[in-house]
Amino acid sequence: MTETKSIIKSFDILRTFFITSIILYHARSLGIGGLPSGYLAVECFFIISGYLLCNSYNNYKQKIENNSDLFKIIIYKRFSRLYPEYFFVLILTLILFNDCFSTNALQGLGYNLIMFGHLGMFDNIVPGSWYVGALFWASFIVICFLSLRNAKIIYAISPLLILWILTILYKTRTESLMRASDIPFIYISAGILRGLAGLLCGVIAYYFANNNTFIKKVNSLRNKIFSLIIYSLLVLTLYLFIQNKSSSIFNIYIVVTLLITFIGCKPKWSNPIFSWKVWHSFYKISYMLFLTNILVIDTIKKYIPYKEYPQPLVYLMVMVLCIIFAIICYQLQKWLFAGLKDILFVDTSQTTVQNISEKH
């Protein structure tokens, strides 16, 4: 259990690094350079989520024999994790940043309420939030595979599915990865395919991390070698973010899958980097930061004469204002939905486990 907590802690810190990359990528709209390949951080989010999804599923599977009950619990946990903050920002965007009664907003509202904006026929109301829907609906597909009687089949077919998905994404080009019209299926956009490819990479990482006795039973010399590999992968990942090459999207899957695999095998190797407390405080608002950063950047573009300031100062202003706004939104939604969460989003997993145990 301690090792699992250490893995999750490491992944939380990686998410903090990735959300910073996404903000710097979105800051390019201000004409200040930004991070050209920062969008690749979304793929990294998906891969981490795939690993944690498998980890959560297998932990509950030890307590619950009924696959249908297990399926409901995992879907419920994913929904309750993603939806409250997303719903808050959706309503906030409609009120403060959009015309509530515009034709486009009303037409796409239903799709956005089920986290399907920009994945089907209508755009997102919350800019950039396609990731939320892609993560939830791709997770639904992966959990369906895991719920099969022979769940191990997902480990066998994952590489083939990833290859098929990346082939489609390559043909549509990275510049249009989020456009539903570029995919030959009406309701399966490139966003869902990106999510599915990333989650399946996470599934593969989980399988290798938990079945690789060679790495788990290494001696001190090999520990040092593999620690060096981890830090090298971190540097390589950062390098790929800095590079302005569209082909990097295909490299990032390999690099981050290996990185997640090694952390999963030996989480203590990453402790020197991921043990700083400041990162953990930042992680709490990282999801809200993801949902709101474009709103802040668009507001800066509209109301602040940022072009008068030096670029480093603009970068700092963007990060500070994004963080402040995310903290306010996080605390506000936490306060507003505290009672609602107790009713609608209470964690019923323990109760379900207890009830099922009593039946058996």
| pLDDT tens by residue, 157-188 | 888 888 888 777 766 654 444 444 445 454 56
Q: Which of 87-101, 246-260, 342-356 has the highest mean pLDDT?
A: 87-101
359 assigned to some structural domain: no
Number of domains in the chain: 1
322 falls within a domain: yes
> How far is Cα 90 from Cα 82, in angstroms, rounded to an integer?
12
Q: What is the mean pLDDT of residues 210-218?
A: 58
Query: At residue 249, does pLDDT exceed 90?
Result: no
Residue 347 in this model has a pLDDT that exceeds 60: no
- As a whole number of Å, the CA-based R_g of the chain is 21
pLDDT at residue 172, as a whole number: 63
Residue 24 lies in a domain: yes
Tell me if 334 is assigned to some domain: yes
pLDDT for position 241: 65
CB neighbourhood size of 252 (10 A): 23
Domain that holds residue 105: 2-354
First to last CA, the chain: 25
29-45 exposure pattern, b = at least 16 Cβ within 10 A, e = fewer: ebebebbbbbbbbbbbb
- Looking at residue 224, what is its pLDDT? 65
- Ranges 114-128, 163-177, 229-243, most confident: 114-128
Answer yes or no: are the C-beta atoms of 123 and 106 closer than 8 Å.
no
Residue 245 lies in a domain: yes
* 297 belongs to a structural domain: yes
Is residue 239 pLDDT above 90, yes or no? no
Are the CB atoms for 26 and 175 separated by under 8 Å?
Answer: no
Is 360 among the domain residues? Answer: no
Alpha-carbon distance 312 to 324, whole Å?
18
> Is the alpha carbon torsion for 141, 144, 146, 149 positive or negative?
negative
**How many Å apart are CA 18 and CA 198, to the nearest integer?**
14
102 lies in a domain? Answer: yes
